Amino acid sequence: MNTVFLGPPGAGKGTQALLISKRFRMRHISTGELLREAIEKGNELGQKARNHIDGGHLVPDDTMIDLIRKVLPSTGDFLLDGFPRTLNQAEALDEMLSTERRKLDLAIYLDVSDEIAGQRLMGRHRADDRPETIRERLVVYHRETEPVVDYYGKTGRLRKIDASPPRERVTETISQELGAGK
Ligand code: AMP
């Protein structure tokens, strides 16, 4: 099952994606991680991404779509964590896969309130987890990424999961969804 994880920053996408990708032997691709690595290395991608990330904004679609084109495995199931974040990206992913006669099967939407998301982010220690950046990322999420949730809903691939319970319970709920779709 080729899967994407959606949800606001702080929903637990990264944590759950790690656990689930191991359990179901899927290739885990976190665009946020890839960008942070690129910044660390100081390469061209890192230089392009740095200011956007620091400001709590999205890295431009063309950069992100190029990146995904490069890292998406050509065989085996994948779990995308942090991509797509815009409607453009979601459509580009569908196109990319359809040219290879493949498809995205499932979008797992980790739903939490802004309040819980904000609290969880405040408990982390990442460079882009400063209060004003957190606020901006939540605003960007509602404006740019919520339409992606609707897009997968309309195409019958969305599974909405309450991500406010403790981590273990959320992992079980996601596992049931993935298991059921096998
Ligand atoms: P994350 O680790 O998924 O929270 O991503 C951290 C930051 O990387 C985001 O706030 C964005 O600035 C950037 N980023 C990650 N994935 C994407 C994407 N698909 N499109 C645009 N920007 C992204």
Q: Please, is 175 exposed, middle or buried when counting C-beta atoms within 10 Å of its C-beta (0-12, 13-18, 19+)?
A: middle
What's the confidence (pLDDT) of residue 54? 95
Inter-axis angle of helices 44-54 and 61-71, nearest 10: 130
Across the beta sheet with 78-81, what order do the strands follow? Answer: 27-30, 78-81, 3-6, 106-111, 158-162
User: Confidence band (pLDDT; 50, 70, 90) for 181?
Assistant: low
Give the Å distance between the CA of 64 and the centre of ligand 1: 9
pLDDT at 50: 97
For the segment 89-114, the average pLDDT, to the nearest whole number, is: 96
- Catalytic annotation, residues: 13, 85, 124, 126, 137
Question: Ligand 1: distance of its center to the CA of 84 in Å?
Answer: 9
Q: Please write the tens of the pLDDT for every residue from 117-162.
A: 988 988 888 888 889 999 999 999 999 999 999 999 999 999 999 9
Which atom of ligand 1 is least distant from the CA of 35?
8
- Secondary structure of residue 5 in the 3-state scheme: strand
Q: How many whole angstroms from 177 Cα to the centroid of ligand 1?
A: 25
Given this model, what pLDDT does residue 118 score? 87
The span from the CA of 52 to the CA of 36, in Å, is 12
State the pLDDT at residue 127. Answer: 86
CA distance 12 to 181: 22
Give per-residue pLDDT as tens, 46-98.
999 999 999 999 999 999 999 999 999 989 999 999 999 999 999 999 999 99
pLDDT for 182 equals: 57
Would you say 138 and 37 are in contact if contact means Cβ atoms under 8 Å apart?
no
